[in-house]
Amino acid sequence: MKKIKMICDFLLALLLSLCADCYVLVSGNVRALWVLVPLFIALNIFPGPLKKNIPSARLRVCGHGLAMLRMFLSALCIALVYHVVLFFASLGEPLWPVLWSALTCFGVLAVAFWNGIICVYCTSVHIGIKWRVIGAVFGMIFPVNLFILNKIIRTVAAELEFERRCVARDNARKEQAVCATKYPLLLVHGVFFRDFKHFNYWGRVPAALERNGAKVYYGNHQSALTVAESAAELSERIKTIVRETGCEKVNIIAHSKGGLDCRYALSELDVLPMVASLITVNTPHRGCIYAEKLLYKVPAGVKDGIANTYNAALRKLGDSDPDFIKAVTDLTFSACEKRNEKLKDPEGIFTASIGSMLATSDGGHFPLNLSHGIVKHYDGPNDGLVGTSSFKWGDNFTLLQPKGEKGISHADVIDLSRQDVEGFDVREFYVELVNDLKNRGL
């Protein structure tokens, strides 16, 4: 199969090079354009859509871009050899045909290249911002641009292959419905985010859970409130889900501050009978020392300016009464210590906690790559925001250790950046997590 694919790719590259290096042929026979123009249009439309084994529309566009870039690179090599031969064969004669041939070739290959790079830039997750910027800045510098293009091609190819394996795995176990828990899932976001329809806080995780039989709901609470205020909103959300669906209970998976909000709701409000389990993910149960230090060291004017800007922006995005300062204050070490003295651990339900850590500051995406060093100074090993000593809570605790060079950040653990981490399949991790709830009869 791999040999057949390589042969097909080579044949496509030959066809594209035929279109690119057609000047001499067309100058002797204009009617050749009746074949070459439709061929060139077809080459720019069909390589991606013909790949039926690519699982989604986004990835099919990405696969089309990959096919175009591979075709472009191979055709470029053929074109370079062809024009070197054409140049030496034309010595002693006018070189205008060689020049016009080169310009025609450049135009044809440029169309193929931009077709591919735009598709890839718009749809690939793994390329990331860094390589997009590098490609844009150094794209006209030869031979650096060829190295960058090769890097992009290899990255996108690995992404598509990984996605195909994931979908094949889900299809193979589809009938088992490994995530079809007795009670539905409630995913609760952390501070400074909201549950948006077109940008899922949990990245690709919910779709993977639903493909495996899960029923998923979201907290839909505001982004920046005190723990008590967020808990009140989540309490009403839980009651609404139970009332409207008749599900009796929910299984909660809560990230970051969302874990504190849920603990408060279970301890201080009246929703404990409606909850079957609570799993907290990278939640600062014992608070953040660095947050306390920064909160009281940053000048009041700077602090108020940041808070006012954030509050104004989130009001426009749907929050009715965001309060940046109160939300941050409730994450400090002293606030969590005081609250922990008050909160009762929930009885009669399954509880667990998960944490992760970065190996180095470079392991996190902006701004976690900047905050990691500050957090490490005050809180020790951390995920870019929360120290590992603050994660443990509940019946079970799992610390996800770095298997690669980077580790797993506060954002990576919920797939916020939609980028795969070496040694950590975030979607499969949550599938296994929810499958465990199913096996527990929850």
Q: Residue ranges of the alpha helices (H) in 124-175?
A: 128-138, 144-172
Give phi and psi for 398, each to the nearest 5: -125, 120
Spatial contact of 228 and 308, defined as CB atoms under 8 Å apart: no
Q: Are 152 and 120 in contact (CB under 8 A)?
A: yes
Query: All domains of the chain, ordered by start, with CATH?
Result: 2-168 (no CATH), 178-439 (3.40.50.1820)
Copy the structure tokens of residue 197: 């329809």
**Residue 316, pLDDT above cutoff 60:** yes
Q: Name the residue with tokens 């839980």.
A: 238
Residue type, 364: G
| Inter-CA distances, 182 with 150, 277, 442, Å | 48, 11, 5
Closest CA to 112 of 9, 17, 183: 17
pLDDT value, residue 15: 87
What average pLDDT does this structure show over 180-191? Answer: 95
Could you tell me the sign of the dihedral formed by the alpha carbons of 371, 376, 379, 385, in that order? positive
Rounded Cα–Cα distance for residues 250 and 436 (Å)? 15
- Mean pLDDT value of segment 73-84: 91
Quote the pTM value. Answer: 0.81
Ordered alpha helix ranges (H), 269-323: 289-297, 300-316
Could you tell me if 363 and 406 are in contact, meaning their C-beta atoms sit under 8 angstroms apart? yes
Sign of CA dihedral 64, 69, 70, 76: positive
Q: Is residue 128 pLDDT above 70, yes or no? A: yes
User: Looking at residue 346, what DSSP letter applies?
Assistant: P
DSSP reduced 3-state for 228: helix
Q: To 10 degrees, what angle do helices 289-297 and 333-342 make?
A: 130
Confidence of residue 161 (pLDDT cuts 50, 70, 90): confident
Assign 124 to helix, strand or coil: coil
Tell me the pLDDT band of 53, cut-offs 50, 70 and 90. low
Distance between CA atoms of residues 179 and 209, nearest Å: 6
- Does residue 376 contact residue 382 with C-beta atoms inside 8 Å? yes
| Strongest mean pLDDT among 117-126, 231-240, 292-301 | 231-240
Q: What pLDDT is attached to residue 371? A: 85
Mean pLDDT of 132-152: 87
Tell how far CA 123 is from the center of its chain: 11
Cα 303 to Cα 193, 298, 299, 308, 362, distances in angstroms: 19, 6, 6, 9, 27
Q: Is the pLDDT of residue 241 over 80?
A: yes
Please answer whether residues 276 and 350 qualify as being in contact, where contact means their C-beta atoms are separated by less than 8 angstroms: yes
SS3 category, 343: coil
Distance CA(55)–CA(52), nearest Å, equals 8
> For residues 305 and 325, what is the distance between their CA atoms, to the nearest angstrom?
11
User: At 263, is the pLDDT very low, low, confident or very high (cuts 50, 70, 90)?
Assistant: very high
| Predicted pLDDT at 2 | 64
